[in-house]
Amino acid sequence: MSMTSESDQLAYIASQAADARVNVEVETDEGMTLNLGPQHPATHGTLRIIAKLDGEKVVAAEPIMGYMHRGYEKLTEVRTYPQVTTLVNRIDWLGSFANEVPFILAAEQLMEVEAPPRAQWIRTILFELSRIANVCLFLGDMAVQIGATTPVFYAFRDREFVLNQIERVTGGRFHPNFDRIGGLKDDLPKGWIEETRGALNRMTDFCDEMEELVLGNEIFQARTRGIGTIPSDVALAYGLSGANLRASGIDWDIRRDANVGLVYDQVDWKVWTHPDGDSFARFWVRLQETREACNIIDQLLGTIPSGPIMAKVPRIIKVPPGEAYVATENPLGEMGFYVVSKGDLTPFRVKIRSASFSNMSIAPWVLKDVFVPDIISILASLYFILGDIDR
């Protein structure tokens, strides 16, 4: 291993030493360094935060990632288009189906194929179901980070109903790999629509339950109100998206404003925003969005058109040369695929724009000058999945 400079060597030794001691506090003359992670329950995976403290106050905090980097952008270059969906499934593993959709839509754009209406409807329903499955975990997890242990059990209990419905259609609870270029793998099973309505009722009840249990709680309010405030300008410049952006008062939702290939324009629904931009606002917006997702699915279930679920596509998929960028409003925020094709079986280059990467890039800014316990609640409210940061 060649070290180009002395500072590189020092950085390397320091990183090795830091890896050896996990969650150790180091005190020097300049203050204290607190190492959170890589194995910390607040990080949904292996994110490490090095925080320099002055007393209880954070002077500088820096997230260190890469513990889960799998190199998907390189791997896509040696896989055919249908094989890529298996990979991108694993980016945000809590809402897997939602990962497949933007990639498939980008490939469809280049091939100038459009999925039949029925497939678009089912795609949208599954997309929203994965949003519920994903955000549901956040609602429970956010509370548990603050010290309330009950909500997370409720979340895991009720999430099962949604996962069961996803499993009944796709055969997979976590990695459906169900979306195809030109449509879907299969049609809905018999009796699924009625059962899904039942699951949606459970989820609406769950949202009410969480609202009563968490939102009005005095401790929860004290730990989240006015903590980790992100003004709208900063949020935009850092590329925050999804509920994090809407919690800063920006009324922008890709589902409504830049919708591609999904049928949100057929539904009567509302985009929720909150003007405060603090941890509480982010929780509140996500809670409302879960309820709204139930509303969207409920309307779509009643209007699924009949017809085929696959458009005519060649058996061997070769995508014509061109470039396409398609983004969708995933549970974590904007997820987009920039696909460059040269007319081969495999993409020439795929740039994955994942929501959590941009959402986390604001961490050094927002964690400055907060108190140590607030690191946990702010990180929890920003809500990231490590697979979505590291790709």
Interface with other proteins in residues 35-74 (CB under 8 A): 65-66, 69, 71, 73-74
20 binds other proteins (CB under 8 A): no
Cα–Cα distance for residue pair 166/160, rounded to 1 Å: 10
Cα–Cα distance for residue pair 98/103, rounded to 1 Å: 10
Cα–Cα distance for residue pair 249/276, rounded to 1 Å: 7
Q: Which residues pair with 40 in a beta bridge?
A: none
Least gap, CB of 57 to other proteins (angstroms): 22
Residues 126-185 that bind other proteins (CB under 8 A): none
Give the list of residues 6+ apart from residue 284 with CB closer than 8 angstroms, or none.
215, 247, 274
Cα–Cα distance for residue pair 306/335, rounded to 1 Å: 29
Please say which residue, 66 or 275, places its beta carbon nearer to other proteins.
Answer: 66
Reply yes or no: is the peptide bond before residue 82 cis, omega within 30 of 0: no
Compose the 282-321 pattern: x for residues touching other proteins by CB under 8 A, - for all others.
---------------------xxxxxx--xx--------x
Give the list of residues 6+ apart from residue 384 with CB closer than 8 angstroms, or none.
44, 47, 332, 356, 359, 360
Least gap, CB of 314 to other proteins (angstroms): 12
Answer for which of 52, 93, 186, 192 binds other proteins (CB under 8 A) is 192
Give the list of residues 6+ apart from residue 127 with CB closer than 8 angstroms, or none.
97, 98, 101, 262, 328
Answer for which of 357, 375, 383, 388 binds other proteins (CB under 8 A) is 357
Please say which residue, 157 or 351, places its beta carbon nearer to other proteins.
Answer: 351
Please say which residue, 214 or 263, places its beta carbon nearer to other proteins.
Answer: 263
Q: Is the Cα torsion angle 368, 373, 375, 378 positive or negative in sign?
A: negative
Least gap, CB of 2 to other proteins (angstroms): 7
Please say which residue, 74 or 157, places its beta carbon nearer to other proteins.
Answer: 74
Please say which residue, 54 or 344, places its beta carbon nearer to other proteins.
Answer: 344
Please say which residue, 120 or 377, places its beta carbon nearer to other proteins.
Answer: 120
Residue at 71: amino acid letter? G
In sequence order, what DSSP letters do the residues of 233-284 get, joined into one string? HHHHHTT--THHHHTTT----HHHHS--SS-GGGS-------SS-SHHHHHH
219 binds other proteins (CB under 8 A): no
Answer for which of 97, 154, 238, 384 binds other proteins (CB under 8 A) is 238
Please say which residue, 137 or 254, places its beta carbon nearer to other proteins.
Answer: 254
220 binds other proteins (CB under 8 A): no
Answer for which of 39, 233, 320, 368 binds other proteins (CB under 8 A) is 233
Please say which residue, 159 or 391, places its beta carbon nearer to other proteins.
Answer: 391
Q: Which residues pair with 32 in a beta bridge?
A: 27, 53
Please say which residue, 115 or 210, places its beta carbon nearer to other proteins.
Answer: 115
Residue found under tokens 């017809």 = 307
Q: Which two tokens stand for residue 91?
A: 């980016």
191 binds other proteins (CB under 8 A): yes
186 binds other proteins (CB under 8 A): no
Answer for which of 21, 157, 270, 342 binds other proteins (CB under 8 A) is 342
Query: What DSSP character marks residue 70?
Result: -
Residues 104-123 that bind other proteins (CB under 8 A): 109, 112-114, 116-118, 120
Compose the 249-278 pattern: x for residues touching other proteins by CB under 8 A, - for all others.
-x-x----xx----x--x------------
Please say which residue, 22 or 219, places its beta carbon nearer to other proteins.
Answer: 22
Least gap, CB of 320 to other proteins (angstroms): 12
Q: How far apart are the first and last CA of the chain?
A: 26
Answer for which of 281, 362, 366, 379 binds other proteins (CB under 8 A) is 362
Q: How many distinct helices (H) and strands (E) make up the chain?
A: 16, 9
Q: Which residues pair with 335 in a beta bridge?
A: 328
